[in-house]
Amino acid sequence: MTILVFTLIILAGSLLAGFLGSMTGLGGGIVIIPMLSLMFGIDIRYAIGTSIVAVIATSSGAAVAYVKEGITNIRLGMFLEIATTTGAVVGALVAVIAPTHLIAVVFGGILMFSAVISFMPQKVAVQPRAESGKRQKWAEALKLNGSYPDARGNRVDYKVRNVAGGFVMMWIAGILSGLLGIGSGALKVLAMDNFMKVPFKVSTTTSNFMIGVTAATSAVVYFQRGYIDPGLSFPVTLGVLGGAFLGSKLLSRSKTEKLRIVFAVVIAILAIEMIYNGLTHRI
């Protein structure tokens, strides 16, 4: 295989990864790392370093469109980034000393978790959900409540719940992001959608907004250790960025249920592969 063919294959795979990461809020690293480590036999630490660069590109590409459309809750994202960035530093420091086969097994477990989350039916937030329950004093004090446009262009108000629980979940997501080189979008969306009662589209777009900042924090550690290869990062970044822009354009006017099911099946297969290769020390 020539360098040109290799680069084109990486570019095509990264385009798909960016599209799926943008549409589902799970981040492109979910696809990038198995692709590089399983298909091409690249050391998982270099795959993680490349994935971190790709995750930053995914977040940057999708976040611009989502913020412009008024879906992203910027204030909530910036608050939760305090937890994700501190966790990312911890995870990155652990990753550079942990055995690669152990990282592969943990990553496979996260993939399987992401697949299960993707299979779960997503609730569409409506006004009664936004007004139900007791008012959260932390959300009120930090001005985390917001609104988003529905399909008809009307603004739908919502209130954020369980701020403390969501903050802890984001810290855990940050650790996994630094450890595995993924955006940990599954945990971010889960925390905002189920714990904090944020509408799903807002959870997805805010997750994309946060992913880049979290990844940039852990990227410093990987860069210092030499695990970010420009030859891999360049085509991956270009592909992921293009896929992220495409996904962001389609998300606001499309139903993602079928896409999530297909995505979950692929992720489950990759999870089994990663766990098997990790347990047999092939990674």
Q: What is the mean pLDDT of the chain?
A: 79
Q: What residues does 147 pair with on adjacent strands? A: 157
What tens digit of pLDDT does each residue of 206-235 get?
A: 887 887 787 788 888 888 888 888 888 889
- 100-119 and 44-69 helices, crossing angle to 10°: 30
Question: Would the pTM of this model clear 0.75, i.e. be above it?
Answer: no
Longest dimension (CA), the chain: 61
Predicted pLDDT of residue 256: 56
What tens digit of pLDDT does each residue of 74-116 get?
A: 899 899 999 988 988 888 888 878 888 888 898 888 878 777 7
Predicted pLDDT of residue 122: 53
Number of Cα atoms under 13 Å in the Cβ half of residue 192: 31
What tens digit of pLDDT does each residue of 23-77 get?
A: 665 656 677 888 888 888 888 888 888 888 877 776 666 667 677 777 888 899 8
CB atoms within 10 A of CB 230: 9
CB 180 within 8 A of CB 211: no
Q: Which single residue is written with the structure tokens 């777009």?
A: 205
Cα separation, 205 vs 200, whole angstroms: 9
Instruction: At 147, give phi and psi (nearest 5°).
Output: -150, 160
